[in-house]
Amino acid sequence: MESAKPKGNYRGKKKPQSGDQDVPEGTSGQTAGPPQGQQQKQQKSGQGGVGKYKQKQLLKQQQQQDLQQQTGEPIEKSLAKVKLDFVRPKNYGVAGTPVKLEVNYLALNLDKLPAKAYHYDVDIQPAASRKWQRACFSGFRAEALPNRLIAYDGHKNAYTMQPMDQMDKVGVAVSLDNRERRFTVSVKLANVVDLRSLKGGNEHNQAPAKQCLEVVFGSKLFLNIDVAHKAFPSGVPVLDVVGDLARRRWNDSPNVPERIDDTLAFKLHNFLKGLEVSYTGPSSVKKVFKYNSLRGPASSQLFKREDGTKMTVAAYFTQQGYRLRHPELPVMHVGSIVRNIMLPMELCQILPGQALNKKHPDECTAQIIKRAATDAPTRKRKIMELRDQISYSNCPIIKEFGIGVGKDFEVIDGRIIAPPLIEYKNRRTVLPEHGQWSADNEGFITSNQRELRWIILNLDSYDTRQRDVDSFGNNVFNESRKKGMQLEPFSMQNNYYEPRNTRMNMKQLETELENSLGYFKKQQLDFVIVVIPGIGDHYSRLKQKAELVVGVLTSCVKGNTVKNTRSPLTVVNNILLKINGKTNGTNHVVQSPDPKIPLIKKRIMFVGADVTHPSPEQSTIPSVVGVVASFDRNGFRYKPHFQLQDPKKEMIHGLEAIMQAMLNNYKNKNNQQLPEMILYYRDGVSDGQFSQVLDIELNAINRAVAAMNPPSKINVTFVVVQKRHHTRFFPGPKCPKEGRNQNVPPGTIVDRYITTPKHFQFFLTSHRAVEGVAKPSKYTVLHDDEQWDPDRLQAITYALCHMYARCNRSVSYPAPTYYAHWVAARGKVYIQGRTLNMAELDRENSLLRIRPEIIGERSMFFI
């Protein structure tokens, strides 16, 4: 469904009218370009005089250039096409206990669907956000086609059941948010859609008809309905936001600080970025603008007036008859980037009703989880209430297209497959129950054989006292012995350090970290447990210094966790899981629940890959790639790789070189033997990118394999893992209910009915949700040299969800995918607080080299 949140910075761009002096605005330059007549001439020459063959050649060249820009690879390497045939196995999976499930899909009845629909291309000029485009098209339809029902996607596509005349540049005036804008709308026939294809036939031929229904419904052939939760900033004065962030309220008392510091300015900017503010000037005229950035204090921030003279923002408002109450606070740059509109905070208010489309503050996230997390029956009831509110059956457009919508959730077949056995030291095994297991009395498979030297660095000594650290440190040592780890005995005299001043600014903190970590390295300590405060940037500054500058292995724990008296040993054991993995140990491995059918028959290199992207308003932050590849026979230990790349690219740049390094690492760790198979789990790819990710990334993997010496046959299986969907399962009749949230049990598999029939695809709920309704992961096999039996691939995927080193629980998707996410997250930590040259990201990558003592000797440092 289309959100009401406007996307785009289109407010505040109205050209100032004569006499409009309520907003201080500077002059701006014009965009260079050919004269209008020359532009028209160029367009005409591009349309005529070029033969069809030449047009095809030009189009092909453009496609090649686009592909090279996406991949960063030479064209001849990128264009080796991989056929996206989705050939699925002959059979579905059969292993496990059959169960009935309900899924939040409503069936669509297409019996009365007409034979055809008409697809029209819509062109609205000038370009605008979807909110403005929808308002414009609504006005166009009301004026030009008042009796016609039209399904419109808010951008370029419209569908009707009856043909309509083509129209060119119809003028429409739109009033929205106290503004009026004029547009032209052009409509021309793009296609006549065969809707009968939905009732059978080739799946490729169904694509236009499916797109038509997606516009009508905003969904697929099943109508998938779910509830979602977002944070919406209150419509309060901007000064109130500053007060909240500073943990105090601004007022007119003489105690108001004259200026805000850099830390508060940074927090305020991050909160406001992407939001719209309403401004009420001295003349009481209300205007709406999009926030861009903070500038200097109003008392000193200059702007150039239209007559060329300069004056401060504060002086401007004094001239307008308003004396600013807080002239030393920064002004806000708003509206168009190229226009210098600067407003005082005290005259601005957050526009209500805006979704916070960026990372929420931690306290906000906690509140959302608290409100949104409901048990399965409550979630189902909320969805049904939403269905009744939407009332699809009474929608005129849906009626026009002759589509019926089911009233109840679909009941489908699922299976609950058995978890793997968890093996510990001396071949002792534990069987997980309800997605978790106890290993209190079990030793790690392997640990460092020499005594490890370590220390606790307390950066939170103001709140975390020495007695708390003493108890914590002794618990770490005592529990490590039970796990078979060799740690130096703990004492406050030999294994504890705290700086004299822990209330430092960031610059002082960086100096302290570099000095103390450098000292620890000279003392040849194996690892450092660092106690950090619950707030602040201590974590990022520590990891930057420890891993990029000094080369010391660290593991962080918050002060409140150290002081945990309810379950101190649980906390300590979770920390030991991380430390053993970081110091080259193996915590556990998995075994097949059926000894006759081993999980791993070949040498397999498990690979996880992910690309994390900045939010839309973060134009100066790149995307971060995370890739990990296993190098042991059990799939526990991984080598990581991270890199920065253009935020517009989803495909991984330079994957061929990355995979060559991973294969050589596997070879060096396994007596010069290469893996027989690569199982590649790719996160973060949408359905529409399947062909592209195969063309680029599978080709890169194959080229890396071909470059190996000696040449080896390595089968590649390419699996896309998706979490960004709204499919939810609910226990059906006689299906076990998991815990107080009454979820489906871990191990629940669905691989038919709601999956695409010709795809090798399945949903797997592999974890027990701590809060709310468990979200299954969706797996789509795009390429499969190995020709996996569905039961075996599903079993090994589920087993990998039990190989996550940081806890004794099965997690929501396979460990390599999880690790790739953590590696990308570590890359984001490395660039926090840095100013990057987005035009030279290759150079920026070269400056972010992890110390060889870390990446070479402690490859699992990121867990």
Could you tell me the pLDDT band of residue 82, with boundaries at 50, 70 and 90? low
Same structural domain, 134 and 265: no
Please give the pLDDT value at position 502: 65
What is the DSSP secondary-structure string of 650-664?
A: -SPTTHHHHHHHHHH
Answering whether pTM is above 0.85, one says no
pLDDT in tens, 719-739: 999 999 999 999 998 899 998
Within a domain: 695: yes
Same structural domain, 198 and 250: no
Please give the pLDDT value at position 8: 34
CA distance 165 to 105: 37
Same structural domain, 458 and 565: yes
> Which of 179, 213, 247 is at the close of a domain?
213
Within a domain: 364: no
Same structural domain, 247 and 348: yes
pLDDT in tens, 139-197: 999 888 888 889 998 889 999 998 988 899 999 999 887 788 999 999 999 999 988 88
Beta strands in 335-394 (DSSP E): 341-344, 348-350
Within a domain: 29: no
Pairing between β-strand 421-423 and β-strand 151-152 as defined by DSSP bridges: unpaired
CA distance 289 to 277: 6
Within a domain: 194: yes
Same structural domain, 564 and 644: no
Within a domain: 441: no
pLDDT in tens, 541-556: 999 999 999 999 999 9
Same structural domain, 123 and 198: yes
> Which of 213, 245, 271 is at the close of a domain?
213
CATH number (domain holding residue 671): 3.30.420.10
Please give the pLDDT value at position 249: 38
What is the DSSP secondary-structure string of 594-651?
A: STTS-S--S-EEEEEEEEE---TT-TT--EEEEEEEE-STTS--EEEEEEEE-TT--S
Q: What is the mean pLDDT of the chain?
A: 85
Mean pLDDT of 561-588: 92
pLDDT in tens, 767-820: 999 888 999 999 999 999 999 999 999 999 999 999 999 999 999 999 999 999
pLDDT in tens, 452-470: 999 999 999 888 999 999 9
CATH number (domain holding residue 305): 2.170.260.10
Within a domain: 359: no
CA distance 14 to 17: 9
Within a domain: 631: yes
Residue 43: how many other CB atoms lie within 10 Å = 9
Give me the number of domains the chain comprises. 4
Same structural domain, 179 and 247: no
Residue 27 has pLDDT above 50, yes or no: no
Residue 37 has pLDDT above 70, yes or no: no
CA distance 659 to 539: 30
Same structural domain, 705 and 609: yes
Same structural domain, 552 and 631: no
Within a domain: 96: no
Residue type at position 666: Y
pLDDT in tens, 228-274: 777 778 888 998 888 777 764 344 433 445 678 877 888 888 889 88
> Which of 307, 338, 354 is at the close of a domain?
354
Please give the pLDDT value at position 218: 56
Same structural domain, 318 and 451: no
Range of the domain at 334: 236-354
CA distance 595 to 599: 9
CB 613 within 8 Å of CB 623: yes
CA distance 258 to 253: 12
Please give the pLDDT value at position 197: 82
CATH number (domain holding residue 527): 3.40.50.2300
pLDDT in tens, 277-298: 999 988 777 889 999 999 999 9
Residue 263: how many other CB atoms lie within 10 Å = 14
CA distance 267 to 361: 10
Say whether 320 sits in a helix, a strand or coil. coil
Residue 13 has pLDDT above 80, yes or no: no
Residue 219 has pLDDT above 80, yes or no: no
According to DSSP, residue 477 is labeled: H
CA distance 622 to 645: 6
Mean pLDDT of 609-615: 91
Residue type at position 184: T
CB 437 within 8 Å of CB 808: yes
pLDDT in tens, 418-443: 999 999 999 999 999 999 999 988 99
Out of 27-41, 604-618, 675-689, which region has the weakest mean confidence (pLDDT)? 27-41
Same structural domain, 242 and 324: yes
Please give the pLDDT value at position 54: 46
Please give the pLDDT value at position 637: 97
Same structural domain, 185 and 311: no
Query: CB-based burial of residue 499 (10 Å sphere; 0-12 exposed, 13-18 middle, 19+ buried)?
Result: middle
